[in-house]
Structure formats: C-alpha cells, structure tokens
A = this chain, B = another copy of it.
C-alpha cells in the first residue's frame, strides 16, 4: 500500500479496539463485558468465545469493538476495567489496531517465506510495521532495502551464538520489536534469547509436526514414503519444535517426488502457513493456553 492507502486504513482502524479476556467460566461474564463496552459507547463488531468446559472451566473471549474518539478515551476505559477484572478474576489485554505492532523478520538464505510476508504486507494483509530484517546471509538485502526496510547482516554459527544473540537482542530493543518472525532462520536460539520474547516468536517448521521433529524433515519424509507433506507454524519455546501450534497445512506428493521436489512443494506450504499464522497473531486472534493455541477465526 502506498502512503495514502496506509493513512486511509489507519483512519478506519483508529476507532477500533480489541479485548482479550481469560477467566473462570460462570454465567454473566458476557453480560459484564458487553455492558461495560455499551456504557463506554462502544459497539461490538466481532466476538468469539470458548470455554474449556461449561462446568467450572476456563472462559476465553475476544471482542472487537468500535467507538468514537477511542484513542482519547482508551486510557480511561482501561482504568475503569481494572475493578471489573479483579471482581471476576480476569486476565485481560486491550489492544488497538491503530497502534501498529512492530515486527522484525529473521531469515537465512532461503527467501520464499520472507517474500510472501513482504507481498502480503504490501498488499495490506499484514497489519504491522516491519521495522527490520536480520539475516546471517546477504541474499535478501536487495529486496528488503528496495522496500525501505533496514537490513542487518549478522553472520551466525554455533561457536559465536552468544555474541550473535546479544547483538540481535540489542537490535530488537533498539527497534522496539513486539513480534519476531523466523521466516526460515536456520539457527537454533538459546533459552536466554527465547525468554526475552515469550509467545512473541513465530517460527515455521518444514514438516507436519509432530511428524519429523528436528532436522532434515523432507529427507525423512522421503525415506518414510508419506503421501502428504506439510508445514507447521508455532510459537517458539525452549523445546525445539514443541511449541504451541498456530497453523498447519499439507500438500499431496507421490513416489516420483524426490527430496528436491519435496522441498519445492514444501516451500509453497511453508510460505502460506507462516503468512496465515502471522496474520492471525497480528489481529490478536491467537491465545496461548498451556502448550496449545486457541485461534479465533
């Protein structure tokens, strides 16, 4: 989108708010929340809820609402909400599309996922500011800089992991990054790094997890003779490839497809799976609960 479109889009977004709530399930929660919003002259435009169990379970709700002069009134609303949240034991989060999430993308040599994200972003489908791309290769520099996005080349290997991560964390802080997207960044992150970005790092794994956890998934898919291959986008935790899954998809393959061909097909799956997961995260549609996600489409 060009500058005019972005401004127009921001204008439409500026009176929108989102409220995510998690609390013990009991009758009346929706009444409390909707009455609160009504009293603050907000109109609910989308609402999704889920209860782990109607009897004594945990209740989750995502409400998207609209209200005049929301930016000016948001602080007061949030302040007013505190009492309600205490009364009902609510964890909650207000967010505002107008306050755009700041994303950084990590990439290695393969650029297909990066290209897809940039394409969706230019298309107006990813509501974020991409503030930096960081890579251990120079491959993607031209296409990134052509879009006016800063590109940082930080060579990486396991011997210098600690200092690489220090440099990366410094950059993340400098750019005030909210979300870190691993668009096929082929380096392992240390627990210390991951701890800085809990539930804010999204990775794309090149298999239909939990099949083929770890390295060489296409090679192993070929060996096993599977008839579908897949990709999985998940939040990064300290257990490799074990974090909460956001999205998965597959494509059909057959005996003629060698490892090279599987990788080609896989790249198409990877790029769309990652793009969807990032989009849903940016729209605050994803709630992490234990090691699983609730995704409100």
**In the bound complex, how far is the Cα of B220 from the Cα of A292, in angstroms?**
12
Q: Is A238 an interface residue (CB 8 A)?
A: no
> Which one of A31-39, A85-93, A158-166 is at the interface?
A31-39
Report whether B295 and A254 are in contact in the complex, using a CB–CB cutoff of 8 Å: yes
Report whether A264 and B47 are in contact in the complex, using a CB–CB cutoff of 8 Å: no
Residues 242-261 of chain A, each 1 if its beta carbon lies under 8 Å from chain B, else 0: 00111111100011100000
**In the bound complex, how far is the Cα of B2 from the Cα of A173, in angstroms?**
36
Report whether B295 and A255 are in contact in the complex, using a CB–CB cutoff of 8 Å: yes
**Closest chain B residue, CB of each to CB of A294:** B255
Report whether A31 and B28 are in contact in the complex, using a CB–CB cutoff of 8 Å: no
**In the bound complex, how far is the Cα of B208 from the Cα of A224, in angstroms?**
12
Enumerate chain B residues within 8 angstroms of A42, measured Cβ to Cβ.
27
Residues 265-278 of chain A, each 1 if its beta carbon lies under 8 Å from chain B, else 0: 00110001000000
Report whether B293 and A255 are in contact in the complex, using a CB–CB cutoff of 8 Å: yes
Contact pick for A30, options B44, B228, B248, B250, CB 8 Å: B44
Enumerate chain B residues within 8 angstroms of A115, measured Cβ to Cβ.
119
> Which one of A48-56, A100-108, A148-156, A176-184 is at the interface?
A48-56
Residues 109-127 of chain A, each 1 if its beta carbon lies under 8 Å from chain B, else 0: 0001001000100010100
Q: Is A69 an interface residue (CB 8 A)?
A: no
Report whether A123 and B119 are in contact in the complex, using a CB–CB cutoff of 8 Å: no
**In the bound complex, how far is the Cα of B25 from the Cα of A9, in angstroms?**
23
Q: Is A209 an interface residue (CB 8 A)?
A: yes
Enumerate chain B residues within 8 angstroms of A142, measured Cβ to Cβ.
146
**Closest chain B residue, CB of each to CB of A16:** B54
Q: Is A17 an interface residue (CB 8 A)?
A: no
Q: Is A211 an interface residue (CB 8 A)?
A: yes
**Closest chain B residue, CB of each to CB of A207:** B211
Q: Is A46 an interface residue (CB 8 A)?
A: yes
**Closest chain B residue, CB of each to CB of A242:** B224
State the A residues within 8 Å of B (CB).
25-31, 34-35, 37-38, 41-51, 54, 66, 112, 115, 119, 123, 125, 142, 146, 208-212, 224-228, 230, 244-250, 254-256, 264, 267-268, 272, 291-295, 297
Query: Could you list 13 examples of A-B contacts with CB < 8 Å?
Result: A45-B51, A45-B54, A46-B49, A48-B48, A50-B255, A54-B66, A208-B208, A209-B226, A224-B292, A227-B247, A228-B248, A250-B250, A255-B295
